[in-house]
Structure 1
Amino acid sequence: MALIKSVRGFTPQIGENTFLADNATIIGDVIIGNNCSLWFNAVLRGDVNSIRIGNRVNIQDGSVIHTLYEKSVTEIGDDVSIGHNVVIHGAKIEDGALIGMGAIILDHAVIGEGSIIAAGAVVLSNTIVEPGSIYAGVPAKFVKKVDTEQSKEMNQKIARNYLMYSEWYKEANK
């Protein structure tokens, strides 16, 4: 069973039909939307500031989401896919974005709608990624524009797939 822990008077709120892997950890001021999935060893640590997760978001294995005390919050829109071992620290991820495996997104960065952050990229603090952009590298730099509708469609498909995967685990526990 996932670890859901209150801290400083905040208790995580988890939306309907959201899958939490057995060892996912959700702490403090965290609100998660509907039809999301948090996979094995994912940690959402809302102990020092708020974390807000939209609908149909998948946060894959080993990812960590945190903030800066009194300085940054983390906001993640709808239909966002966060790959394995991602760190998001006090950033805003807009609807339909894809964050590749092992990427790091630092405080006050904004990842625009339908954007793609490549695997292993490091998005520095205060970076603004324009909607429909691909960023890659360390530090992450603009690579090219993508069709926003096409990338949103792709990310919605990934989000639907992760809902399907989570159903496998729910069925296995019946």
Structure 2
Amino acid sequence: MVRAFEGVTPTLGEGAFVAETAAVIGDVVLGPGSSIWYGAVLRGDVAPIRIGARSNVQDLSMVHGTTGLSSTTLGEEVTVGHRVILHGCTIGDRVLVGMGSIVLDLAVIETDVVLGAGSLVTPRSRLESGWLYLGSPAKKVRRLNDGDRAMIREGWMAYVDLSARHR
């Protein structure tokens, strides 16, 4: 479902996919080739949401912000795993947010980061580019290697392909 809120209608870039049971509401902009999957909610009612090109928000994830405090922005080629909560945060390009993770208000995840499944990024935290983070709260574990970078690339590319097959 894609619907307006108080006269503001979501904008879908060329080739963006929104699954039938997803909810994309209000001040939301989806970049070209992005995908929003079954049961995901992007609620741009109290703060803007911006999703970059070729990024995906997978099943049952929630994206929101806080009135007067924080919007949510995802860069390009971001993979947001199943059942993730993104609340008023900024995520750079080529980030993998593992399943079940929570990223809270005013947190920043820089480019080229892997956030492991079930991790918690606390308010106003900053995750530095080029690292793997795990845990609750999320802690820096090690530098990304070539295999990690390939996993990020393969992940977003698979969802661009899969979204075309779901149309």
Give the structure-1-normalised TM-score.
0.92
Partner of 1:167 in structure 2? 164
Matched, 1:5 2:6: no
Counterpart among 100, 106, 118 of residue 102 in structure 1? 100
Contact 1:106–1:125 (CA under 8 A) maintained in structure 2:
yes
Deviation at 1:150, TM superposition (A): 5.6
Give the structure-2-normalised TM-score.
0.96
Matched, 1:49 2:47: yes
Q: Compute the RMSD of aligned alpha carbons.
A: 1.2
Query: For the residues of structure 1 that align with 2:149 and 2:108, how far apart are their CA atoms?
Result: 17
Counterpart among 57, 60, 76 of residue 59 in structure 1? 57
Deviation at 1:8, TM superposition (A): 2.4
Matched AA of 1:155: I
Partner of 1:74 in structure 2? 72
1:49-103 deviations in Å (ceiling 9; x for gaps): 1001100001100000000001001010000000000000000000000000000
Partner of 2:22 in structure 1? 24
Matched AA of 2:162: Y
Query: For the residues of structure 1 that align with 2:12 and 2:40, how far apart are their CA atoms?
Result: 15
Structure 1: gaps spanning 5 or more residues:
none
Matched, 1:113 2:111: yes
Number of residue pairs matched? Answer: 167
Deviation at 1:155, TM superposition (A): 1.8
Query: For the residues of structure 2 that align with 1:155 and 1:36, how far apart are their CA atoms?
Result: 15
Matched AA of 2:135: G
Matched, 1:157 2:151: no
Partner of 2:140 in structure 1? 142
Contact 1:114–1:151 (CA under 8 A) maintained in structure 2:
no
